Chain A
Amino acid sequence: MITFEDVVKVYRGGATAVDHLSLELPTGKLTVLVGPSGCGKTTSLRMINRMIAPTSGRILIDGKDVAEQDEALLRRSIGYVIQHAGLFPHRTVLDNVATVPVLLGKTRREARAAAYQLMERVGLSAEFAKRYPAQLSGGQQQRVGVARALAADPPIMLMDEPFSAVDPVVRSQLQAEFLRLQQELGKTIVMVTHDIDEAIKLGDHVAVFRAGGRLAQFATPRELLAEPADDFVASFVGRDRGLRSLSFDSATDLPVRPVEGIPLDDAGRPLGLPGVFTKDDSLRVVTDLVISSPGGIAVRVGPDGAADGQVSHHDLADYLASRRR
């Protein structure tokens, strides 16, 4: 657990970056710090590994004040990923990944062997091992950055806008892979972003900051969408939060009608339909399908791809209305 105890950071010149922040970031969870620029989210992140010292207050990791620990040793126990990856240009991908294990006293050979495994873990084939960062795309560099942060298997990872320097397609790919990775690893992750959608998509918890370094709300993404603490949070979260909150509910309990009037192939799979949904998809996916299909109907398929039910505009509206009661 990472604890902020009444932390204040005032920069020289008097600008308050973080204003009396008290916060508990749970172990094994991904907490996203989000807010407009100048809201103190990055400053807060960097105070955890002592890249920035607080003006007052304490930051504790599992009850131990970080200020009382050796800086370098503390940092080696905390993974760190930044926006443009910040890879070492003079080292191969493999040696970039092996950085922290070597610092911790592992032999180069041991560290490299472990680095190969990590590269595989983040989806980089071994052929990249001998390349230099300049020979990689932005997305690949970011994967190396994540592998490098994970190399010493730190219990905590700090990520500062890790996916914002890559194009949207690569970004959502990296996000999805990262979520999968986190499900396996269960690290305590603190991530900074200015993108509320990313925060809601990735975070187990989201801390919304407002300008001046004040915490506006700390909640799960679902709570944030359903009950924003004030107007600032509501406007920051965005206008279509009702629709977006549907992405947290699966279509498992959504009643369907028998399939009717839809062309099927021999195996019972719907023909010529752009999109179908399964029980595991979210209500947001279903809503989108219902709205975008010409007939106002979404078709549900089973694991084998065969149609096993359909939902109309009205069915969906009734179901959503019934959930409100």
Chain B
Amino acid sequence: MIQYLTNNSEIVWQALQEHLYLALVPILLGFAISLPLGYLAVRFDWLYHPLINTFGVLYSIPSLALFVFLPVILGTKVLSPINVVVALTIYTVALLARTVADGLRAVDPVVVQAATAMGYRRSRRLIDVELPIALPVILAGLRVATVSNISLVSVGSLIGIGGLGQLFTRGFQLFYLEPILIGVILSVLLAGIADLIIVLVQRAITPWTRAA
């Protein structure tokens, strides 16, 4: 395995970079989209169920099917990485929009009212009070979405863009175990490290959750 790694370090390194890119860009995009969507679902109560249900349905579409159909809808090339990025962004939003909404809904209404009565305007209240209090829930959702994305990227290898997943297809084609093992180990390692980073960030910015 070490032998394979030294001989193919270039390929493995590139696969790892691609994997990271394909997993993290959708996370950032998805997070940025989920915050306003989740907020809207709370602000306008009637939006909550339609929104959550829509993304629930989207989430249930198999990833491979999405990778294949997206070029048709987006007009992108079949082999464009944009397909994977868009598909994974959809999954991220499906997971995160709901956690953002649920996190915001779980903020004690008494606290929100107290903030209003202190003289907070709506937007500052959202940033200073509601979002920070919803953060533990939102970050828990972010962990799930991140780990899920890192594992889903590999499926993209079936359409030719899949980061470490490329090592799997390569191994299968060559009846060769080493690249598969390396792909699995690196993928799991990546997910573990990403998860750990989020946990550490969470500990640093929500010290109050450990008080009591």
Is A80 within 8 A of B211, CB to CB? Answer: no
Inter-chain contacts of A77 with B (CB < 8 A): 119
CB-CB contacts below 8 Å: A85-100 with B? 86-92, 99-100
A321 in the interface (beta carbon within 8 A): no
Inter-chain contacts of B57 with A (CB < 8 A): none
A169 in the interface (beta carbon within 8 A): no
Give the number of chain B interface residues (Cβ < 8 Å): 22
CB-CB contacts below 8 Å: A56-114 with B? 72-77, 80, 82, 84, 86-92, 99-100, 103
Beyond A51-B113, A82-B114, whether A89 also contacts B121 by CB under 8 A is: no
Is B114 within 8 A of A86, CB to CB? Answer: yes
CB-CB contacts below 8 Å: B122-147 with A? 124, 129, 132-133, 135
A interface with B by C-beta (< 8 Å):
49, 51, 72-77, 80, 82, 84, 86-92, 99-100, 103, 131-132, 134-135, 148, 158
B interface with A by C-beta (< 8 Å):
108, 110-111, 113-121, 124, 129, 132-133, 135, 206-208, 211-212
Q: How far is the CA of A164 from the CA of B132 in the complex (A)?
A: 29
Q: How far is the CA of A92 from the CA of B208 in the complex (A)?
A: 8
Beyond A90-B208, A132-B211, A134-B212, whether A80 also contacts B117 by CB under 8 A is: yes
Q: Please, which residue of chain A has its CB at the minimum distance from the CB of B135? A: A90
Is A89 within 8 A of B208, CB to CB? Answer: yes
Q: How far is the CA of A91 from the CA of B128 in the complex (A)?
A: 10
Q: Which of B117, B132, B133, B212 contacts A51 (CB 8 A)?
A: B117
Question: Given contacts A51-B117, A158-B117, could you give 20 more A-B pairs where the C-beta distance is less than 8 Å?
Answer: A72-B119, A73-B119, A75-B116, A75-B118, A75-B119, A76-B118, A77-B119, A80-B117, A82-B114, A84-B110, A88-B111, A88-B115, A88-B129, A90-B133, A90-B135, A103-B119, A131-B211, A132-B207, A132-B208, A134-B208
Supply 25 A–B pairs (Cβ within 8 Å), ascending by A.
Answer: A51-B113, A51-B116, A75-B116, A75-B117, A80-B114, A80-B117, A80-B118, A82-B117, A86-B111, A86-B114, A87-B114, A88-B129, A88-B133, A89-B108, A89-B111, A89-B208, A90-B133, A100-B118, A103-B120, A103-B124, A131-B211, A134-B208, A134-B211, A135-B211, A158-B117
Inter-chain contacts of B114 with A (CB < 8 A): 80, 82, 86-88
Q: How far is the CA of A73 from the CA of B118 in the complex (A)?
A: 9
Is A90 within 8 A of B115, CB to CB? Answer: no
Most chain A CB inside 10 Å of its own CB: which residue of B121, B135, B208: B208
Q: Please, which residue of chain B has its CB at the minimum distance from the CB of A51? A: B117
Inter-chain contacts of A89 with B (CB < 8 A): 108, 111, 133, 208
Inter-chain contacts of B133 with A (CB < 8 A): 88-90
Inter-chain contacts of B124 with A (CB < 8 A): 103
Most chain A CB inside 10 Å of its own CB: which residue of B111, B114, B120, B207: B114
Q: How far is the CA of A132 from the CA of B209 in the complex (A)?
A: 9
Inter-chain contacts of B132 with A (CB < 8 A): 90
